[in-house]
Amino acid sequence: MAITTLIAEAFHSLTKNKIRTALSVLGIVIGVAAVIAMAAVATGAQRKVEREIAAMGDDWLMIGYWGMQRSGVRRQQGTPPNLTREDAEAIQRECPGVRAASPTNRISTQVVSPFGNYQTNLLGAYPNFFDIRRWKCVAGRLFADEEMQLQAKVCCLGQTAARELFGAVNPVGHTIRVNRVAFEVIGLLEPKGTGSDGRDYDDVIIFPFTSFQRLIAGNEPSATIFAAARPGVSLATAREQIRAVLRQRHRLAEDEDDDFRIFDRSVMAQTTAEATRTFNLLLTTIASISLVVGGVGIMNIMLVSVTERTREIGLRMAVGADARHILGQFLCEAVVLCAMGGLIGFAAGWAAAQTVTHKLGWETEISYWMAGLAVAFASAVGLFFGFYPAWRASRLNPIDALRYE
Amino acid sequence: MPSALIDIRDAWKSYHLGQVEIPAVRGVSLTIDPGQFVAISGASGSGKSTFLHLIGCLDRLDRGSYFFEAQPVENLSVRELAVLRNRRIGFVFQNFNLLARTSIVDNVALPLTYRGVRRRQRRQLAAQALERVGLSDRLSHHPNQLSGGEQQRVAIARALVGDPAVLLADEPTGNLDTATSLEIMRLLQATNREQRLTIVLVTHEPDIAAFAHRQVVFRDGQIIRDTDNGAARR
């Protein structure tokens, strides 16, 4: 019996009782739909992160202490390690692969404007910070070396800070107060958006480093150094150079760990990749469980179907079907049933993902090869769980089957 | 002399109910030539249905030998028996055994699917078989839209569609009223006469048995009478 005949017969069988077919395949449909929807959300999130990482710019690195204890291990004098502005300047000077480096310092505090006040992040940085971060302004201008030398009381506002402090009014030319010190707003920065860690990059006011140190935060050592690689230099190369310079400046012995961390886009991408791997593993596990449940449902329904169709099986054997034919027939029905379930599940999952995007605003992404995978997996479930009932059917004795009430 | 179509010698068949063995057919021998119309009758439990199953290769003899079209059947594998049934034997049952929710043309075509016949040709052959039993205007109907007599005619068409050597009927009129029963019997008679098709029919009703040329009577698993009345009842 040709495969096409088998499949046609399977379809015919399944359409004979549409309600029962629909109910039996429900488990598979829901399982597949859930997995597809979750995968769509996960892929969408991943794409968003990848885009942000790409949008961040290719070539900057951050040096800092995240997750490290400030008191070092085996320090001779017991002083905490720190990154100074001299470290930043040394990096710029001595690393051939680095085109610019800026120390930065950050606090969060109340800022007062003529229109109200707002708690935001204040950042002190060198003028080359804007170049490192590729951050342009959309109104006014950025501060330069002159303002640094003069410790000028100027600042540049990020979009969110500007909106909170000035509403729809252009802040350039106005004054804000920090700790009762007045600063003139000379520039409004372009939007940078939200980072993958949830931080709003636009919720910031940037001051010249010297002004910040003197008038706002005091002489705290730098929290983070930003550096940019020269065009054509790989991040890995720049990273190694920075590491060498800092280790030497911090007088670290060969066998001592770094007392700082260097972070760049490739690290973020790697972290994301690991998180994605973990999530995909979770997803696969859940998928397996839900498909197993669906498969058990299929097996049950097929067993009932075989029992109900005992006379039919007897008749088929009487007119010439052998065990092989019967096995093939019922197995084919199970596989076709599940394949259809996979397809419908994919469609339902797609619809669910669309709903999530419209109602919750989360990004989702469906790859169409997921449809193939859904159908393939569902079919495999059908093959596996349909086998026992089909085998039972093929073992029936035709005479007993014909007599079955 | 053409060789016998069906040649059974000293057939034994028992059923096993738990530990107990119940002999249903006890040392029966029977020869049927091509073109004969044979009725096997007897009380319920006499072994006639079991014997029919043996003739139809639905079951194997416990002891004895069976030559179908001069070939021994005992050595055939289960698969080969299925092929034999498909190509050479047609069955008609008391309860019709049609596939529900399936058109009668697809019902009749069923044996041909196991032969690998292509769909269009299958339906053509099925339509022809249905015409021979007078149902060519009901091709797309389903069994539940047909009367009992019509359903049995569909079953007969199905049994004949593959051009078998013998048609085996197990109480074909058991679920039909008298008038319809006579209709069916006349159809079988006509088929036997016009197509020289060998028919073996099991029944417990003497009126029905009378349609056949030859009467074989079973009792307690053995043939007690085998008469050939030549001229059958019209």
Which ipTM did the prediction report? 0.93
First to last CA, chain A: 29
**pLDDT tens per residue, range B30-61:** 999 999 999 999 988 889 999 999 999 999 99
Domain extents for chain B?
A: 6-228
pLDDT value of residue A17: 83
Residue A156: exposure state from Cβ atoms within 10 A (0-12, 13-18, ≥19): buried
Q: Which of A240, A259, A278 is the last residue of a domain?
A: A259
Q: How far is the C-alpha of A85 from the C-alpha of A126, rounded, in Å? A: 9
Model confidence at A37: pLDDT above 80:
yes
Under 8 Å between Cβ of A57 and A313: no
Interface of B with A in 129-148 (CB under 8 A): none
Interface of A with B in 192-221 (CB under 8 A): none
Q: How far is the C-alpha of A167 from the C-alpha of A155, rounded, in Å? A: 17
CB-side neighbour CA atoms (13 Å) of A53: 18
Residue B47 falls in which region: left (phi positive, over 0), alpha (psi -120 to 50) or beta: left
Mutate to test the interface with A, among B113, B119, B161, B202 (most CBs of A within 10 A): B113
- A57 is a domain residue: no
In chain A, the number of structural domains is 2
Categorize the per-residue pLDDT at A215 as very low, low, confident or very high, splitting at 50, 70 and 90. Answer: confident
pLDDT value of residue A197: 66
Q: How far is the C-alpha of A234 from the C-alpha of A241, rounded, in Å? A: 11
Is A398 in Cβ contact with B58 (below 8 Å)? yes
Categorize the per-residue pLDDT at A157 as very low, low, confident or very high, splitting at 50, 70 and 90. Answer: very high
Poorest-pLDDT segment among A68-77, B22-31, B39-48: A68-77
**A251 plus A336 within the same structural domain:** no
Q: Which residues pair with B21 in a beta bridge?
A: B16
A176 membership: H or E segment, kind and range:
strand A175-178
Interface of B with A in 171-230 (CB under 8 A): none
User: Which residues from B are below 8 Å from A322, CB to CB?
Assistant: 78-79, 82-83
Q: Which two tokens stand for residue B140?
A: 């797309």
* Strand pairing report for A98-113 and A224-229: antiparallel
What is the domain range of residue A163?
69-259
Q: CATH: 3.40.50.300, 3.90.1150.10, 3.30.70.270, 1.10.132.20. Which one for B6-228?
A: 3.40.50.300
Is A320 in Cβ contact with B82 (below 8 Å)? yes
pLDDT value of residue A224: 87
User: Which residues from B are below 8 Å from A14, CB to CB?
Assistant: none
Q: Which of A259, A286, A312 is the last residue of a domain?
A: A259
Angle, to 10 degrees, between the axis of helix A85-94 and the axis of helix A235-249?
A: 130
Is B91 in Cβ contact with A399 (below 8 Å)? no
User: Which residues from B are below 8 Å from A325, CB to CB?
Assistant: 82, 114
Strand ranges (DSSP E) for A25-130? 60-64, 98-113, 116-125
Is B97 in Cβ contact with A402 (below 8 Å)? yes
